[in-house]
Amino acid sequence: MRRYLANAFENKALSEIAALACALDLPSFDKGSVWLAGAGPGDPGLITLLGAYALSEADVILYDALVDARLLKLACRGAELIYAGKRAGVKSCKQTDISRTLVSLAKRKKRVLRLKGGDPLVFGRGAEEALTLARVRIPFRIVPGVTAGIGGLAYAGIPVTHRETNHSVTFITGHGADGKLPPLDFTALAKASPTLVVYMGRKYAGDIAAKLIAAGRDPNEPAALITNASHAGQQVHIVTLGTLGAE
């Protein structure tokens, strides 16, 4: 009975997505094309309607480690689900293999969805996959998603901008393709924006804070460390820039 109710709910959800797609005249997900879509930072409710529609239409879905498993329930019956996650410090799929798989599937006239956490073009390797598809003339579409640097902060109750205090924001990656702290210009970053949002920065938080302080940022400046952004297990630690490395 429980399985029957689950199937009924999923079928109803797919029907509602189809009705909304029709009402809003959403673009057709054509065979032989690839959509690079963002699933949002964690909470499955933050996926866009276009992203949910892509899930319901795709023949094959390559999904990341940060995609909430509940979203995969929106896949159409018979869709092939392929895990293509990449996590720091964990043996993961090679990016070149993922890109080749996208091309191969599209050439077989599949509707291919590459589903990524956050936004596909914000520190998400979506640009690399798009370039690969463009080189071999595979049609593709970018479906933006809510990035963690905005959605995660919102769930933590921290405004990324405020017209009386912080009029600009800078997004930074906390580690490069080699897993190390990238060669950032910390002198420029220290002066760039009142708000600095560091993605994937926990491992090098102390180093980043020390370099920013050495470049002129106030060690008593408020800082927040957010983990599991927008998930039920989200944690927010409010500290100062000077003590950020101790968390």
Structure tokens at 54: 């892509």
User: Are the beta carbons of 185 and 212 closer than 8 angstroms?
Assistant: no
Residue reference for tokens 């191969």: 104
Alpha-carbon gap, residue 112 to 34, rounded angstroms: 5
Residue from 141, 177, 178, 34 nearest 98 by CA: 34
Catalytic residue among 43, 64, 68, 119: 64
Written as one string, the DSSP assignment of 113-134 is EEEESB-TTSSSSHHHHHHHHH
Number of H helices, E strands in the chain: 7, 9
Catalytic residue among 12, 30, 110, 200: 200
166 phi/psi in degrees, rounded to 5: -115, 110
∠ Cα 188 193 198 (to 5°): 85
230: left (phi over 0), alpha (psi -120 to 50) or beta: left
Active site residue 86: yes
97 belongs to the catalytic site: no
Whether 200 is catalytic: yes
- Encoding tokens for residue 190? 């220290």
Residues with catalytic roles: 64, 86, 200
